[in-house]
A and B are shown apart, each in its own frame.
Chain A
Amino acid sequence: MNWRIIGTLVAKDFSLFFRKRLFLVLTVIGFIMYVIIYFIMPSSVNENLELGLYAPVAIPPFVQIEEEGLEIAFVESEEALKEAVINGKYVAGVALPEDIADKLASKQKPNIRLYFTPDVPEEMKETVSVIIKELAYMQTGQPLSIEVSEEILGPDVTGAPIPARDRLRPLLAIMILMVETMGLASLISEEAEQRTIHALLVTPMTIKDLFAAKSITGIGLAFGQAILFMALVRGLGEQPLIILITFLLGAMLVTGIAFLISSVSKDFMSVLAWSIPAFILMFVPTFSVIFPGAVTNWIKVIPSYYVVDTVHRAANFGSGWGDIWLNLVILVGFCLAITWIGIMLLRRKFQ
């Protein structure tokens, strides 16, 4: 490969990219919007513990307690309680049995059922159990023997309370990456549409030089912006190396996707037509972060899952190499496969 030629082509592609008003607007305005969206989202989680209580019989301490940070709302039925928990109205639902007073009087263990949403962290579950026991203690003035059973409404996932804006970070980063896919695909398809590729192919430039230059341009544009975004939204505080590597692989992935899109596109409109389904598909895994438990394992067939999941875990939970190495290996596999297929198809198109 000839690095002088590659450098010349990269400079040319960057110059052309920033002369296209549409991509310039999408890139700059989009970037600013993503940062603004991040900063206007809530930066903290609601620390008030909102509990729903179904109590067929009135238990004075349960009725009276309204301590700071603990809000209890009474619900008419156990079914209504479950529905309210699923809808996110309460962090947890507490259902007291009808015979609680009798069982306490006869020194039997009443069974108190707790309902949680799938993304409630373990600490929160433990806190609620402790509160229930505390309330029971307040009722009798001595520790009581009670049974507490938990039920997860929907698939269980582990997690920690994460501000909504931090949950959005992988989504916004994926959007930045994907916009660059469209930009690069358009640049490449224009080379074919305007036949400039033929002019390049009769110079000492080789097809390898061309793909190296296009890859550098695509990866540079996508990686640079994604990292700048993460730096601006303070997403590089935890595991910065992992995040950098993940975004580098993510930029490679979208470059490969850009090769695929441009290999089947003839002009800007067809780039747009192919890019939109690709965008939608690549966004799907971000739902797993925004709505934990809402999606199932099938999303693991979508390559962007491994970018989203790794960034989410590293940036929001501080997950280390031991936790995410498999994600990175799979991501490398996807990058190589998609880029190779894209290059083969484009090569055929150019020649």
Chain B
Amino acid sequence: MAVDAISAEELTYRYGELVAVDHISFNVAEREILGFLGPNGAGKTTTFKMLTGQLKPAEGSARLLGMDIAKNVERVQGEIGVCFEMTNLYEQMTALENLNLFARLFGMKSFDGKALLKRIGLAGRENDRVETYSKGMKQRLMVARSIVNKPRILFLDEPTAGLDPTSSESIRNIILEERERGATVFLTTHDMMEADKLSDRVAFMNQGQIVALDTPHQLKQQYGKRALRAKVSTESGGLEDREITLDTPETPEAVHKLFEREKVVTIHSEEATLEDIFIGLTGRGLV
């Protein structure tokens, strides 16, 4: 029987009286990308820290690759890669030295730092100190550092936050390549488009609890609203919006009437976004 890459059971963490993570349970299959979404203070980072062995759960347990993280923290940490949201590189060392340092800590016998730097688009800058890098370059290096040990599970905390489109795209490609290699990816992000594009499933977290967990398509089917949006011209020469909700018994008649009675200038279908669904589920935005 295949073992889940990540299996959390009633995972709980408290900061004093505040319950940051409240009895959450979920599984992530091998080679799956799970998008972990939620606003600030929802408990994403605390969950991230518990899964990576930085915090001990107050209750419940988490198993990574079949091993209880609380009991096998060093073994588990040898099999995972972690990319933090905030840059935490050795700024006075070069990119290559940063990667080589972590490769040695992981006990990698054959590690080609230059090849990895080339892969993330930092070829030619490998011997420059990190303090001379731009934010995008540092973030790419952070992602590179998290995969020096060819991790079986890759944890990424907001890997593209605040980056330019080119750097973001570069990082998204690396995530997909890592999944191709066989890694499971646990991705926390605020970027709904990114989560939608990359994730096999997404989990919405709010106030320490998982309020929804499914594929983006299923979530949209279940909680979203599909519609047709049209712009029609009025007698005075102006434009007005029209919206027809899809998937209802009245939809065909409404579409028919629209084209019969109005002068349609533009028309397009609209699908609910993950953000719409999150707001619908929690009554609050993601920021």
Contacts and interface: CB of A to CB of B under 8 A. Distances in A.
Interface of A: 4-5, 8-9, 12, 15-16, 19-20, 194-196, 198-206
A195 B82 contact: no
B88 A204 contact: no
Contact of B90 (A4, A5, A12): A12
User: Interface extent on B, as a size class?
Assistant: 20 to 34
B90 A196 contact: yes
B54 A196 contact: no
Contacts, number: 61
Contact of A202 (B82, B86, B91, B93): B82
Contact of B105 (A5, A19, A20, A194): A5
Contacts of A201: 53-54
Contacts of B102: 199, 203
B74 A206 contact: yes
25 contacts: A4-B104, A8-B101, A8-B105, A15-B97, A16-B90, A20-B92, A194-B88, A194-B89, A195-B86, A196-B88, A198-B54, A198-B84, A199-B82, A199-B84, A199-B89, A200-B105, A201-B54, A202-B80, A203-B78, A203-B102, A203-B105, A204-B77, A204-B78, A204-B105, A205-B105
Contacts of A8: 101, 104-105
Interface of B: 52-54, 74-75, 77-78, 80, 82, 84, 86, 88-93, 97, 101-102, 104-107, 145
B78 A12 contact: no
A9 B75 CA distance: 19
Given A202-B54, A202-B80, A16 B93 contact: yes
Contact of A198 (B88, B92, B104): B88
B92 A19 contact: yes
Contact of A204 (B84, B97, B107): B107
Contacts of A12: 90, 93, 101
Most chain B CB neighbours (cut-off 10 Å) among A4, A12, A20, A202 = A202
Nearest to B101: A12
Top 8 A-B pairs ranked by shortest CB distance?
A: A195-B88, A202-B82, A8-B104, A204-B78, A203-B105, A19-B92, A204-B74, A199-B88
A11 to B, nearest CB: 9
A8 B101 CA distance: 7
Contacts of A199: 82, 84, 88-89, 102, 145
B108 to A, nearest CB: 11
Contact of B91 (A9, A15, A194, A200): A194
B88 A202 contact: no
Contacts of B75: 204
A206 B97 CA distance: 21
Contacts of A15: 93, 97
Given A195-B86, A196-B88, A202 B145 contact: no
Contacts of B92: 16, 19-20
Nearest to A203: B105
Contacts of B88: 194-196, 198-199
B163 to A, nearest CB: 19
Contacts of B82: 199, 202
Contact of B106 (A9, A19, A204, A206): A204
A16 B88 CA distance: 15
A57 B263 CA distance: 136
Contacts of A200: 105
